[in-house]
Amino acid sequence: MARDPDTIQREIEQARDALASTLDQLSTQANPKRLVEGAKASAVSKLNDPKVKYPLIGLAALIVLLLLRKLFS
Task: Going residue by residue through the chain, which has 73 residues, state the pLDDT in tens, using 9 for 90 and above.
Answer: 678 888 999 999 999 999 999 998 988 888 888 889 999 999 999 999 999 999 999 999 999 999 999 999 8
Task: Quote the crossing angle between the two packed helices 32-47 and 50-72, to the nearest 10°.
Answer: 80
Question: What is the enclosing helix (H) or strand (E) of 34?
Answer: helix 32-47
Ordered by start, the domain boundaries in the chain are 32-73
Buried b (16+ CB within 10 A) or exposed e, 12-37: eeeeeeeeeeeeeeeeeeeeeeeeee
Q: What is the pLDDT of residue 66?
A: 95
Give the pLDDT score at 59: 95
pLDDT computed for residue 73 by the predictor = 82
What pTM value is reported for the model? Answer: 0.50
8 Å CB contact between 34 and 28: yes
The reported pLDDT for the residue numbered 54 is 94
